[in-house]
Amino acid sequence: MKTNNIILAISFLFISSLKAQELYSEDFENFTIGYVGSDATGQTSGQGGWFTASPTQLDSLFQIQNDPVNGKVITVTGNPYLTAGNTGIRKDIDEVIIDRIIGNNVFKFEMDFYTAQPTGIDGEGIWFGLGKKEDIGNIFPFLSTPIVGFSFYTYSGELRGIHNTYGGTTPQTYFLENNQPLILPFDTWVSLVIYADYINNKIIYEIPSLGLVSENDFFPNFPYPTNINNHLLESINIATSMIDAGNGLPTYRFDNFKVTALNSSLSVEEVLSNSFFLYPNPAVNLVTINNPQNTFIKQIEIYDLTGKLVNTQNYFEDKTEIELNVEKLATGVYLLHLQTDERVVVKKLIKR
């Protein structure tokens, strides 16, 4: 499966007007510190309707803890015995998914993930994302039914996108050019976003803090609406894999889950463009370009609406906030092409 890391087109793409409907959100601040539940067989839900499952039936592997940065968070730890199997946790959201507004068939999934401590065996890690509801009292089928999410490998710190095509393959999405591995620092919080677009049969993965967006095909063998009729999202799933206590047990933390239903999807280009802000706009003399996710800008090219290159400015010394002098530009509409480490982002500027 080919992954498309798309470079922005020269022409400006206007942002879609999305009908957003929040279906589920959880920051765990109303949960009680301690175990998530008291039934790690996966049969009875615990706090907030979260199910937990471990072959060793250890409730201590799933907890609500205080984090110095995020406050209360939910944590998942691998089994202390390598041969005991994997641990899993699930929140069913099928009822709110079914009750969504008709036509809202694009799902945006947001979460904060703490990368935990490194371990010493290649292949150890955790999968988390959206999937199908299963009886997680049997942990193996629970692990086998993700629909779309992320895999994080605790041996190397690599993060990948992963999804189930229900066609015999589970394609992996890489976030850097030429499928180079994206390595995240350990003991670090990172915000992650997925757009599961059934309408266009696409998945968009976003890592806002790194300015990274990648796209992949969703269900190549199931066009819309067959894809959503047969493989609709039902749950938030988290599962560990091959954790060995001899190399330390990483405790993964999660926070700020949010699922939103949309009536159309942002393109890769629009997702990136939305992460940059121009003000004032319209501008007379100076315009400030700000990126809250701290994506560095290497170069700015200014085009008029005929496609003519009007001005180029370089040497921003990896600044994340730039004051751009536009005093000499004639009155009109321009497209600013912001060159980052990964790609070009296009923003519209009105000059008075």
pLDDT at residue 139 in the model: 46
- pTM here is 0.75
Q: Kindly report the backbone phi and psi dihedral angles of residue 247, in degrees, each rounded to the nearest multiple of 5, phi listed first.
A: -110, 15
Residue ending a domain, choose from 245, 266, 287: 266
Over range 274-280, report the average pLDDT: 82
Residue 4: pLDDT above 70?
no
* Domain count across the chain: 2
- Show the domain range for 341: 276-351
Tell me how far apart the alpha carbons of residues 135 and 139 are, in angstroms, rounded to a whole number.
8
Helix (H) or strand (E) holding 22: strand 21-26
Across the chain, mean pLDDT equals: 83
Same domain, 181 and 57: yes
Same domain, 230 and 342: no
Residue 15: pLDDT above 80?
no
pLDDT at residue 144 in the model: 46
Report helix, strand or coil for 273.
helix
120 vs 15: which has the higher pLDDT: 120
Residues recorded for the chain? 352
Report helix, strand or coil for 141.
helix
Residue 14 within a domain: no
pLDDT at residue 263 in the model: 86
Residue ending a domain, choose from 247, 266, 285: 266
Stretch among 34-43, 87-96, 116-125 having the lowest mean pLDDT: 116-125
- For residue 328, the domain's CATH number is 2.60.40.3080
pLDDT at residue 152 in the model: 94
pLDDT at residue 140 in the model: 42
**DSSP single-letter state for residue 343:** -
pLDDT interval class at 179 (50, 70, 90): confident
Enter the tokens of residue 183. 């390595």
203, 218 Cβ separation under 8 angstroms: yes
Spacing of C-alpha 179 from chain mean position: 18
Over range 48-58, report the average pLDDT: 88
147, 230 Cβ separation under 8 angstroms: no
pLDDT at residue 277 in the model: 83
Over range 257-271, report the average pLDDT: 79
pLDDT at residue 119 in the model: 77
Enter the tokens of residue 30. 């109303």
Enter the tokens of residue 236. 């938030």
Cβ contacts of 184 within 8 Å, gap of 6 or more: 115, 152, 157, 158, 159, 190
Residue 2 within a domain: no
